[in-house]
Structure 1
Amino acid sequence: MSFRIDPRLPLTGEVRRILADEVGKALAHLETAREKPEQGLHKCRKRLKSVRALLRLVRSGDEPFCQTENECYKQVSALLAGPREATALIETVDRLAAAFPEQSAGGGLDAARDRLVMRQHEMHAGAGLDAAISAAAVACREGLGHIDRLSLPDQPEQAADILAEGARATLRRARKALDKAGSRGEADDFHDLRKAAKTHSMHLSLLGRLWPTPIKSRRKAVDSLGERLGDLHDVFVMRALLDADGEPLGPPEDTRLLAKLLKRSEKSLRKSCLADAIELFGDSPKRSTRKLARKARDDLAGAPDDLAAAAG
C-alpha cells in the first residue's frame, strides 16, 4: 500500500490505513531480525520512524492518541537501538576505508574493525536480542489494536489545517536544531537536526499529492542531507567509544589511524551538512507551509466532487 495520504478520502481512514500497513511491516521485519539481525533491525526501525512521523503530522487532530502511541513506538525503537548501532559502527569504518583508501591501505583500521565485529556478534548472539525482539513485537501488536481509536476531523478545511500544522511543527524543529548546530555545534544538535530532516522527508512522502511543487528535488536533497547527518552521528558515536573507559576498540596504537580519519570526516561532514541544511531549512517555517495549507484546502475541498465524477 502507498505511504501517501490520498486527499480524495477521509483523513482518519487514510491515517489508520498507513499506520496499520507500516506497523505490520515492522512486525514482519522483526521476525526477519531473529535470523538476520543486521537486515531486520534496520528495516524495522525505519518503519517505526515512518509511524512516528505520521503521528507527528496529525498530532494536533488527536493529541492524546498521537502522543501516547508516539511514545510507545519510541520505546520500541530504543529496545532495538543497541544491536543496530553495533552494525552501523562497522559500516562507519568501511565508509572511512572507502573515503581514505591511501591512508587505510596498510590495514590501520583492521584491528578496530575486528573488535567492532566481535562486539556485534556478542550483541546479536545473546539472549538479550531475542528478548528485545519479542518485547518489540508485543508492543507493535498492541499498537495495531489501538489504531481504531484514532479519530481525526475529516472536514476538508480542518484536515488541511492539521496537515499544515504538523508539517510546520517539524520545520520549526529543523530550524531550531539548525540554529543550535550552527552556533554550538554539539553532537546532540546535529542529531536533532537529523531527526527533523528524516521526519520532514517522510512528511514530503505522505503529502506527495498535496505539497506544492517541486517536491521531487526537495525530497532528494532532504534525503541526501539525512544520510550525511546519519554518517556524522555515527562518527560522533565512534569518537565517544574511542574515549570510553576500558579502551573498547583497543589500545591507542590500534586506533590511532581511526581517530585521525574520524576527525577529518567529522570536519567535512559538519561543513557540508550545515551548508545544505541552511538551504533547506533556513526559510521561515510559516512561510514554507503557507502554500501547503492553501493547496491542501483546495485539494481536499475538491475531493468529494472528484470522487463523484469518477463514480459517474
Structure 2
Amino acid sequence: MSFRIDPRLPLTGEVRRILAEEIGKALGHLETAREKPEQGLHKCRKRLKSVRALLRLVRSGDEPFCQTENQCYKQVSALLAGPREATALIETIDRLAAAFPEQSAGGGLDPVRDRLVLRQHELHGGAGLDAAIGAAAAACREALERVERLALPDQPEQAADILADGARATLRRARKALDKAGSRGEADDFHDLRKAAKTHSMHLSLLGRLWPTPIKARRKAVDEMGEQLGDLHDVFVMRALLDADGEPLGSPEDTKLLAKLLKRSEKSLRKTCLADAAELFGDSPKRSTRKLARKVRDDLVGPQEDAPASAG
C-alpha cells in the first residue's frame, strides 16, 4: 500500500490503514536502531512525523482522537531526539567542511568533530538508548491498538471539508512562521517554518490523487526548502552549543573556525530559505485550498457510492 489517500475508498478506512502502516514501519526502525542507531533513529522519527502530519490533516474530523495521538507521538519522538541530534551535529560538521573546502582543508574542524563523535558514542552505547527505544516501542504498540478507535465522517462533502481544513491549517502555520522569520528571524521562527513545510510536503503526498494543481514540482521545491531549513536548524543548534557553559565543543581556539563557518552558512541559508518560502507560501491559504475542497468533492462523490464500507 502507499502513503496516499485513495479517493475511491471511505476516508476512515484509508486513514486507519495509513496510520497502521506508518506505525508498523516505525516499530521496525526502532528494532534496527538497537544495532544501527544512526540509521534506525532517523528513519523512525521520519515515520512519526508522517503519522503526525496525517493526524493534522484529518484533525477536524475527530479532534479528541487526533489531539491525544499527536501528543503521544510527540512524546515518543522526544525520547529519541538526543541520540539522533548527536548524529545530526556530526553531519553538520561534514556539510561545513564540504561547503567551505579551502577554509577547512587544514583540519580546523577536526577537534570539534572528534568531540562530537565521542559524544555520539557515549549516547549510543549507554543503557539510556536501550531504555528510550524500549519506551518508544511500547508506546507505538499501544498506539497501534488504538487506531481502530478513529472515526471520521465518510460522506463525500464532509470528507472533502476535513481534508481541505487540514491542508489549509498547515498552510496558515507556514505563512505565519514565514512572516515571523522575515520580521523577527529567531531560531524558533525558522524551526516552526521547517515543521510546517515538512507537514505540507507530507500532505501533498497524502493528497497526491486529489490536489488540484500539478504537485510534482511543488513537492520537490518544498522538500528542497525543508532540507535547507533542516541545515539551518542544525546550524542554530551548533551555535547554541558554542555559547553554552562548559565549552562542550572545545576551547575558543578549537572552535574559532567553526564559529566563522557557522556564521557564513547561517547568513546564506537564512536568505535562501526566506526567498523560497515566500515563493511557496506567499499565496492566501484560503485561496490555495478552495480548489482542493471543490476537487475532493467532485472526485469522492462518484466512487463513494460503490466503495466498500469502512471497517468499524
Asked if these proteins are the same fold (TM beyond 0.5), I'd say: yes
CA offset digits 1:258-282 (Å, max 9, x no partner): 0000000000000000000000001
- Provide the rounded CA distance (Å) in 1 between the counterparts of 2:305 and 2:71: 38
- 1:145 equivalent to 2:115? Answer no
- The answer to whether 1:288 aligns with 2:269 is no
Determine if contact 2:156/2:304 at 8 Å carries over to the other structure: no
Gapped regions of structure 1 (runs ≥ 5): none
Cα distance in 2 for partners of 1:247, 1:307 equals: 62
Query: Equivalent residue for 2:56?
Result: 56
Instruction: Find the counterpart in structure 1 of residue 68 from structure 2.
Output: 68
Q: Which residue of the partner structure matches residue 246 of structure 2?
A: 246
2:302 paired with 1:302: yes
- Secondary structure at the counterpart of residue 234 of structure 2: helix
Q: Which position in structure 2 is the counterpart of 1:235?
A: 235
Residue in 2 that maps onto 1:40: 40
Aligned residue in 1 for 2:187: 187
Between the aligned partners of 2:22 and 2:305, the Cα distance in structure 1 is 30
Q: How many residue pairs end up in the alignment?
A: 308
Offset, 1:129? 0.5
CA distance in structure 2 between the aligned counterparts of 1:74 and 1:84, rounded to whole angstroms: 15
| Residue aligned with 2:283, SS | coil
Q: After superposition, what is the alpha-carbon deviation per residue over 1:24-82, rounded to whole angstroms, capped at 9, x for unaligned?
A: 00000000000000000000000000000000000000000000000000000000000
Q: CA offsets, 1:268-306, max 9 Å, x none?
A: 000000000000001100000010000000001121367
Following superposition, which runs of at least 4 residues in structure 1 exceed 2 angstroms of deviation? 304-308
Deviates more, 1:155-164 or 1:298-307: 298-307
Superposition CA RMSD, Å: 0.9
Give the structure 2 partner of residue 196 of structure 1: 196
The code of the aligned residue for 1:163 comes to: L
Report the 3-state secondary structure (helix = DSSP H, G, I; strand = E; otherwise coil) of the residue aligned with 1:7: coil
Match of 1:188, SS state, is helix
Separation in 2 of the partners of 1:76 and 1:109?
A: 33
For residues 19 and 304 of structure 1, the distance between their equivalents in structure 2, rounded to whole angstroms, comes to: 21
Per-residue CA shift, 1:229-284, capped at 9, x if unaligned? 00000000000001100001110110100000000000000000000000000110
Aligned letter for 2:239?
A: R
**How far apart in 2 are the matches of 1:188 and 1:251?**
27
| Amino acid paired to 1:75 | Q
Deviations 1:67-122 (A, max 9, x none): 00000000000000000000000000000000000000000000000000000000
Q: In structure 1, give the amino acid aligned to 2:158.
A: Q
Q: Whole-Å Cα distance in 2 between the matches of residues 241 and 204 of structure 1?
A: 35
Q: 1:14 corresponds to which residue? A: 14
Name stretches of at least 5 consecutive residues in structure 2 with no aligned partner: none
- Counterpart amino acid of residue 297 in structure 1: R
Per the TM alignment, residue 307 of structure 1 is displaced from its structure 2 partner at its CA by 5.7
| Mapped partners of 1:306, 1:197: distance in 2 | 35
* Cα displacement string for residues 135-170 of structure 1 (whole angstroms, at most 9, x for unaligned residues): 000000000000000000000000000000000000
Identity, % of aligned positions: 89
